[in-house]
Amino acid sequence: MHSRTFVHGFTAALTVALTLVGAQANAAPGSGDQLLAARVVTYDAGASAEFKAAVDRGAAIWNESVDAVELRPAAAGQRANIRILADNGWPRAMTTSLGNGTVYIGREAVNEGYNTVRISAHELGHILGLPDRKPGPCTSLMSGSSAGVSCTNPYPDAAEKAEVEGNFGAAPARPTAVARDAVIVD
C-alpha cells in the first residue's frame, strides 16, 4: 500500500513539474512509456496589414487539423519562427528550414479574387513542409491557385494533415518516462 502511494505521489509530482516548466504533454497513440509535446512554431503577423485576421484564422485551421505542431503568435519581444508580410506581389513562402521562414500575403492574388484565409493556410502549409500540388482539386489546400478563384476551402485534406504530422511527429519532442503502478519490495 505504501509503495502504491509513493508511485502515485511521484506521478503527481512529475505532472506538476512538467506543468511548471511549461511542457505541453500529449500521450503518444499506443504508447504509455513516453509523453510527446507538440512542437510550438511562433509567427509574427505584425506586418501582415489588412490580412492579420486571415493569417490568424489560417494558423487556427492548422491547429485544429494537426496535433504534432502548434502555430502561436509570438509574444512581444520574442523572435518568431515565421514572419508574415503583406505586399503587392503574388503570395509566396520562403522557407529557411522546417517550421521557419517568411510568408508574403500578396495583394495580387487577393485583387484577382482569391480567398485570403485559403491563401494564409496554404502559405503556412509550405512552412510546415508541404509542396504545391498543382493542378489539384479544391479539396487539396496545397493545390493553391490551380483550384480557381471560386475555391475558398482553407482546410488541408487527410494526406496533407498526415504529411505535416509526419514532418513534426517523427521524433518525440521530449521523451519522459511515465511512472507505472509497481510494487516495490523493501
| DSSP per-residue codes, 48-109 | -GGGHHHHHHHHHHHHHH-SSEEEEEPPTTPPPSEEEEEESS--EEEEEETTEEEEEEEHHH
Among 112, 123, 160, 165, the active-site one is: 123
What SS3 state is found at 17?
helix
Beta-bridged to residue 47, according to DSSP, are: 85
Catalytic residue list contains 123 = yes
Distance CA 42, CA 78 (A): 9
- Active-site residues, by number, are 123
